[in-house]
Amino acid sequence: MKPLVLQLNPILVPAINQQLASLYEVHRYYELKNPQAWLDENAQAVQAVITGGHTGISRALLERLPALRVVAVNGVGTDAVDLAYCRERGLAVTATLGALTEDVADMAIGMLISICRQFGGGDRFVRDGLWERFPQPSAIPLGRRFSGMRVGIVGMGRVGRAVAQRAAAFGCPLAYTDLRPMDDVPHRFVADLVALARESDALVLSAAADSAQGIVNAQVLDALGPEGFLVNVARGRLVDEAALTEAIVAGRIAGAGLDVFVDEPHVPLALRGSERVLLQAHRASATWETRAAMGQMVLDSVAQALSGQRPVMSLTT
């Protein structure tokens, strides 16, 4: 009999799904009509869980799965999994470390350039026929130069470093904040986030959200100021979303590029209605290349755990 695997959110690469199906009896929790009834019948037999970084798994569900040997997160964020509990239980929680770094950094820089140069507004101006109605160049406001902008990076992990590498290529002076300065990072460390915001033209959020919550608050946004831009490719909850919405609507910051939100897929209406923001549906890692690499890591982690090995990508065992 094939081992039973419970999948909590979809994998979008068919070849990965085919391999999963050939090796395991895969049940898609998100497609179950009656998840409780399914659990009553099958929970005891589940050996592996596959989930997304944002979805994670609740402690209550973990407690219902006594035979579980691995939670394979198809992502790098493990903030939605109770790692301390899993560690105590000797349960492997794996992540797709390193697989999505380049794509997420590309997205951060892409969004930053887009909000500085108003790609969204420019596209709509042409698409909606406004260029023909208002052909004079003054019909669209001038944008802001990204090259050379002072960029502050919040969270100097893999993604933060990849953002720094890209921003450096655009001639941007860089500074960063994190829990502590890092010996192997050549850029300036600024311990205080308000101070970093004050001396940055753009803040890029690439921090883990395991403990940090609402760190980008009204004070940080005001320090960033009416000429400043914010990009978030990490987690929505790093930002006080109500404060951000107010700052955007009042023009207390210049603009924001947001791939993540507090309560996905819900995005505050005021943000949806603002020309100052560029919105994405949590897609920073959504390329074929990255999702295939992530899927392969998930396959490897499940195989390693179920064959009794410590998964190479385990964060808890």
54 vs 150, which CB is nearer to ligand 8YV?
A: 54
Neighbours of 72 (CB within 10 A): 27
Q: What's the CA dihedral at 175, 176, 182, 187 to 10 degrees?
A: -20
The yes or no reply on residue 76 touching ligand 8YV (CB under 6 A) is: yes
The residue within the footprint of ligand 8YV, chosen from 3, 52, 236, 311 (CB under 6 A), is 52
Q: Find the binding residues for ligand 8YV in span 125-184 (CB under 6 A).
A: none
Joined tokens for residue 17? 């799904």
Catalytic choice (161, 276, 282, 291): 282
The yes or no reply on residue 282 touching ligand 8YV (CB under 6 A) is: yes
Catalytic choice (158, 166, 187, 235): 235
Specify the amino acid at residue 233: V
Contact 149, 202 (CB under 8 A): yes
Q: Which stretch binds ligand 8YV (CB under 6 A): 64-72, 73-81, 109-117, 309-317?
A: 73-81
200 vs 314, which CB is nearer to ligand 8YV?
A: 314
Q: Which stretch binds ligand 8YV (CB under 6 A): 21-29, 69-77, 86-94, 262-270?
A: 69-77
Which residues is 71 bridged to in the sheet?
A: 49, 93
Q: Which stretch binds ligand 8YV (CB under 6 A): 26-34, 72-80, 158-166, 305-313?
A: 72-80
Secondary-structure breakdown of the chain: helix, strand, coil percentages, each rounded to the nearest 5: 40, 15, 45
**What per-residue string of b and e applies to 281-291 under the rule 16 or more CB within 10 Å gives b?**
ebebbeeeebb
- Known catalytic residue: 266? no
Interface positions with ligand 8YV (CB under 6 A): 9, 52-54, 74-77, 100, 282, 285
